[in-house]
Structure 1
Amino acid sequence: MAEAHQAVGFRPSLTSDAGEVELSAPMLQEIYLSGLRSWKRHLSRFWNDFLTGVFPASPLSWLFLFSAIQLAWFLQLDPSLGLMEKIKELLPDWGGQHHRLRGVLAAALFASCLWGALIFTLHVALRLLLSYHGWLLQPHGTMSSRTKTWLALVRIFSGRHPMLFSYQRSLPHQPVPSVQDTVRKYLESVRPVLSDEDFDWTAALAREFLRLQASLLQWYLQLKSWWASNYVSDWWEEFVYLRSRNSLMVNSNYYMMAARAGNAVHALLLYRHRLNRQEILPTLLMGMRPLCSAQYEKIFNTTRIPGVHKDHIRHLRDSRHVAVFHRGRFFRVGTHSQSGLLSPRALEQQFQRILDDPSPACPHEEHLAALTAAPRDMWAHVRRSLKTQAQEALEAVEGAAFFVSLDSEPAGLTREDPAASLDAYAHALLAGRGHDRWFDKSFSLIVFSNGKLGLSVEHSWADCPISGHMWEIHLSISLALRGAKTLSGNIDCHVFPFSHFGKSFIKRCHLSSDGFIQMALQLAYFRDRGQFCLTYESTVTRLFLEGRTETVRSCTREACNFVRAMEDKEKTDSQCLALLRLAVDKHQALLKAAMSGQGVDRHLFALYIVSQFLHLQSPFLDQVHSEQWQLAASQIPVQQIHLFDVHSYPDYVSSGGGFGPADDHGYGVSYIFMGDDGITFHISSKKSSTRTDSHRLGQHIEGALLDVAALFQEGQRLKRRGLGEEDSEHSRDSLPCHTRGSRAPTTATNF
């Protein structure tokens, strides 16, 4: 989601906070350090690794095996085929009176060896099974006998009652794709948006890259993939997030909405308790294939600490308070007593005292949080003075489980003006007023005066501060606040619910719901700008150990052919429908390839990082990382919709969340399926851009969805209903339900 903005045009700084040396070390040393970081992570959670390392067995299974061996020995049977006698001979001779003890120790050692061998065999078998991705590549709705057999074997070797991290040791490592395949796929992805001359130039750069540098860079990546947990994820976190010097507000954070506050803080802390005990079930695709759970570890007690050249993530094992911001003041609210977690009522009383407290903010305390929205190097310098003069206060915020902002204004959907209220809600969550969010914290809980709430999430997982009232930092706060207000005021958010149809209609069309929406977005963008552009859609690579994301380049040649056909009056509905199916099939193929580790962008990113470490100039890789993503579009998955009835309790439905645009002249679009019959879109752009308008694109999206649906017989009725007599007057004014073949807007210009 928000990663699209961070990934665009990044330039890795190969220096450390200490000055010159650490990252300018030889490439082999960097690969060694990557592997060392992986092993340190494993050692830091030794007990969890022990419990999950023996899965699908359990420590009790060892006791059962030992007891069975002892029983067999008592019955004068030797299940070890003489091995226990050899083990006894190797044990010290403590005299005849300890003969029985030596037998017990020999049985225990044999049981441990046999138990370990069985577990190792199970792990190897499960890892081999989880390395199979053929099920991803099968046509939608079909399952071969080979995949059915695979599912049965996974079920057998997966064991029962898995904990959150149970599958981590069995997940395969993310493979390094063939560099030739990656370059070929890249050229295929940029062909629709480049002129013939530009494409020929790019292809020539690619051929030169394959001839001169590719094999060396690829060799280093292969070496890293053998040694480290993941060949790309640690570099992605470091160079795309932690080394970015831009403000976190809008650029890195994204927001999430919920419909009712309830007992939010208590519920989040209960969730943390279950997380620490691994009582959260691992995410399983198809109810069987586990995804990597590594990212769960840093949800709570985590802060992104600013550095001059590079940030770092600080994660605490535990925290027994939350930091609260209200009317310019910072508070430390304890969450536990000696007997454990405080009750919702006890927490509510503490929050009420904060709300009733009439005391004013200390000098400069009110706008202190604006520093977290400042450029990272500036915030790093100011934080050093804070750390010496207000260390206790700073620790109170950075050491909190999470950050809570009690806003004095209401927010959320209103019946009087639903569109404007949702837009304001989205803006409040994404940017606030620039000084009322601590953007460094892994997440901030925002509670509005009418009980609505939301989450503002820092995308790399990290950070939060305190009240400070030193005159020495007055100028820095003023500059940061000015920048934060400018950035906040420049973001144009638009949220609109699309209620004409939803996932159930798309399923009846026998199309992928995500592919359907992505093609409609391509049509909407073309109508908005009169051209095609590179499109960034994020998907997960959590099928692999410590996998994060990969990019699906949704603007394909097939998508462009479909859009051109929709704008061509001479094309029939059946011709457009055939092109739509081809475009959706292509999109699904790209999505499945990305999920199975065969994407384009993370491989090119890793090759680029290696080239920088080796000081090798590659015009091709420079060209790749200078690309502009003027459309970033992602679906927000819904996994818990079965827990409530969305028709009977619509107020409990989350409206999803959004993120800032990836380009100053681009759009950020997220969407969430609301049950089976609705979709909510979140659109963002920059007000400073003369080429974009979030509300205008929203109208184009609504029109494009109806036009694509009209290619199907049932969709024609939906379109007529969308322009029915009861709202035809309103529709003519605000809903651009285009007829096919309508020209792109006359204001659109190719840039």
Structure 2
Amino acid sequence: MTSALTLPRLPVPDLHQTLQKYFQSLDPLLLEDEARGGPKFAEARRVRETWAENFERGIGRVCQERLIALDKASPTNWLDDNFWLKKAYHEWRAPLIVNSNWWLAFHNDPTVPLDVILGRRRTIGAVEITDWQVRRAAWLVRRTLEWKARLERQHDQTGITRAGIWLQDTAAKMFNVSRLPQTGCDTLSTIPPCTDPGARKVLVMLHDWFYAVEVLDEHMQMLPPDEIERRLLAVVADADGRLKRGEKATAVGVLTTDDRDRWAKNLRYLLSLSPSNHDILNTINHSLFALSLEHYTYVLPSTTPSTAGSPLPAPNTVPELTAHLHNVRSGPTPRPGHNRWYDKAYTLVVETNTRAGALGEHSPCDALVPSIGAEYAVVEGIDEDAFPPLSDEEGMPCLKSVSGWERLEWLVDERVRRECAEAEERVRAIVEDSDDGFLCFTDYGTEWIKNEARLSPDAYIQMAMQLAWYRACGCFTATYETALTRLFKNGRTETIRTLTADSRAFVLAMVNPQSTPQTRQSLLRRAVQTHTNLTRHAATGRGIDRHLLGLRLLLDASAGERHDLFDDELFTRSQTWKLSTSGLSEGHQFRGTGFGAMYPDGIGINYMAAPHLIKFGIESKYSSQLTSTEGFITAITEALADMKSTCIIAISHL
């Protein structure tokens, strides 16, 4: 019996209300321009009001009618069926690595011995993989499959919530799919039918070789964990033999780190070399997800071991966690992009000491969804009863009789090898410029913000980032926060414009030594309330940025249609998100997270707010004169401390 509950369509927002909200979002920029000697606020605002009034009476009304008609003709809604994937992701030509992919570092598995985590466990043969590494990889694969099956079973349950329906529909898009490079605009591979053999496989990468491992049987039922482990060990044994024979893989996966048009050109050439290359690409695209087995545990070049006899730094120290995040993001900085397929929607990455994480391609679904699946996979440690005892014997286990896996051997030539080498040089420049770090703020978390300060935690953290940016950079900037439109069928995201006149007033009060704690707290409350209202509007389909995008794209340029509203430099500046932010769950199972800055002189921040701590993944560019990850870490720490002090003093005087 299936649930009759369905999700509504994403609405087309009211044109007049969108324009009014748009005005308000410009206020902090106009006020700042005036404060720095630019046009008077009232005059500059009136110009924009006049443009908007003209737009609403004229071509804007026509575009709104077109948008409504487009929505009626669209299977799901006007945004997702027509614009979103292309404009948000697939038309972007920049390399995915750092710029678009997101990354997560998992907590260590509590069942893994400390000696393994410290790097003291022997590696197997020439392949330099550890048995515990393979075991954890098998367990994470199995747990991920369990989460997928659990979501699919909910289709047969009554009483499912709207949030559950949204999660089901959205999570289905992270499996059995890859992004495909095409000149000018990428696309997504088609989801294979369950009868397709590739739909039962996981893509495994080891020493830059590609393998396909069946993890579901012919009835689409999960294989037991020990059988998944056996098949992974068979892959390891095969790679070991290849290495001992002196073979070396061509790092075809590095091509996926390149500029999208260049990768599209190289892929066309690669496919022209042999029909077998077509088959390999289909297997990669149709596979459930990917697994990268690393033959190392990455250590930052400047790091020294913290304990005698251990080749690795102590767990959960800053150098150790930074190295882990860097490896999940891109692999070792001196040799980035190897052993990955960056087009794959979801990739598990497991190092020799069992450190694990996930890497994701953003376009099929937003990072929150695979992070929910990752949390399910990690929350339960390895069930040792599900596996045979590990052997202390040296050497490679004999697994020649194990079936259910296959090599994916690319046919390459000298041109492909040359392109791989050149792509590696280009990606190295990207990775070396990526200033990627993290902050684990432990002084307080959401519990104090809610119960003592009596404020919305997310809005409070957003105000802290506004204050930190201003102190670190000496200016204000348009700020993006992700809001999920999960109330709607196929809902993706909407923008919350964190920079408001109220957030600006709060920040200026915090940097004004003459301002009292009572004034600062009052302005903080107002800014938080404004942000909370914007969040509610965005989540309920009443945001402005997606609507403005749709209206602008429905102008008929061939007929000479344009408008001052969209030609205004302030329209562009209000959407230049130098500070790009997104919150995940409380993140109890994650050590860190991250995504890249949207602009060369910007900052990308992924944060996880728990009751007693807040984790920030922060990425900027070393080449930027405006930003510094280390400087921003200091600025956020100081902002959070100052805001708490302000609230405590103000409350004590009530």
The verdict on a shared fold, with TM-score over 0.5 as the criterion, is yes
Match of 1:273, SS? helix
Q: Is 1:603 aligned to 2:547, yes or no? A: yes
- Which residue matches 1:566? 510
CA distance in 1, matches of 2:172, 2:425: 35
For structure 2, which runs of at least 5 residues remain unmatched after alignment? 110-135, 300-311, 366-407
Output aligned runs, 1:308-707, within 5 Å. 308-314=183-189, 315-318=191-194, 319-337=199-217, 340-356=221-237, 357-358=239-240, 359-360=242-243, 365-388=249-272, 389=274, 390-410=277-297, 415=314, 418-432=317-331, 433-461=336-364, 467-508=410-451, 509-611=453-555, 616-623=561-568, 624-625=571-572, 627-638=575-586, 653-674=589-610, 676-707=611-642
CA distance in 2, matches of 1:277, 1:289: 12
Output aligned runs, 1:201-280, within 5 Å. 202-203=48-49, 205-228=51-74, 229-234=76-81, 235-260=83-108, 262=136, 263-278=139-154
CA contact (8 A) 1:366 1:435 kept: no
The amino acid that maps onto 2:70 is K
Distance 1:471 1:625, change over 3 A: same
The amino acid that maps onto 1:704 is A
Distance 1:503 1:436, change over 3 A: same
CA-based RMSD of the aligned residues comes to 2.9
CA contact (8 A) 1:182 1:600 kept: yes
CA contact (8 A) 1:230 1:547 kept: no
CA contact (8 A) 1:520 1:704 kept: yes
- Which residue matches 1:100? none
CA contact (8 A) 1:501 1:678 kept: yes
Query: Identity, % of aligned pairs?
Result: 28
CA distance in 1, matches of 2:86, 2:159: 26
- Of structures 1 and 2, the one scoring higher in RCO (CA 8 A, sep 6+) is 2
Match of 1:712, SS? helix
Tell me the alpha carbon deviations over residues 568-598 of structure 1, each in whole angstroms, 9 at most, x when there is no partner: 1111111111111001000001000111111
Q: 1:438: Cα distance to partner?
A: 0.7
CA distance in 2, matches of 1:282, 1:423: 44
CA distance in 1, matches of 2:597, 2:213: 35
- Which residue matches 1:144? none
* Corresponding pairs, count: 537
Distance 1:303 1:466, change over 3 A: farther
Distance 1:625 1:278, change over 3 A: farther
- TM-score scaled by structure 1? 0.67
- Which residue matches 1:181? 17
Q: 1:426: Cα distance to partner?
A: 2.0
The amino acid that maps onto 2:419 is S
CA contact (8 A) 2:438 2:592 kept: no
CA contact (8 A) 1:218 1:607 kept: yes
Match of 2:447, SS? helix
The amino acid that maps onto 1:678 is L
CA contact (8 A) 1:260 1:451 kept: yes
Q: 1:712: Cα distance to partner?
A: 2.8
Q: 1:611: Cα distance to partner?
A: 1.6
Distance 1:284 1:498, change over 3 A: farther
Distance 1:634 1:606, change over 3 A: same
The amino acid that maps onto 1:301 is N
The amino acid that maps onto 2:516 is T
Q: 1:637: Cα distance to partner?
A: 2.0
Match of 2:420, SS? helix
The amino acid that maps onto 1:271 is W
| Range with greater deviation from structure 2 (708-717 or 188-197) | 708-717
CA distance in 2, matches of 1:281, 1:570: 60
CA distance in 1, matches of 2:158, 2:491: 15
CA distance in 2, matches of 1:574, 1:450: 51
CA contact (8 A) 2:154 2:160 kept: no
CA contact (8 A) 1:441 1:461 kept: no
Q: 1:505: Cα distance to partner?
A: 0.4
Tell me the alpha carbon deviations over residues 420-439 of structure 1, each in whole angstroms, 9 at most, x when there is no partner: 22222222222221233211
CA contact (8 A) 2:517 2:649 kept: no
For structure 1, which runs of at least 5 residues remain unmatched after alignment? 1-50, 57-166, 647-652, 718-751
The amino acid that maps onto 2:626 is R
The amino acid that maps onto 1:305 is L
Distance 1:611 1:479, change over 3 A: farther
CA contact (8 A) 2:350 2:357 kept: yes
Q: 1:655: Cα distance to partner?
A: 2.8
CA distance in 2, matches of 1:564, 1:516: 16
Q: 1:476: Cα distance to partner?
A: 2.4
Q: 1:400: Cα distance to partner?
A: 1.5
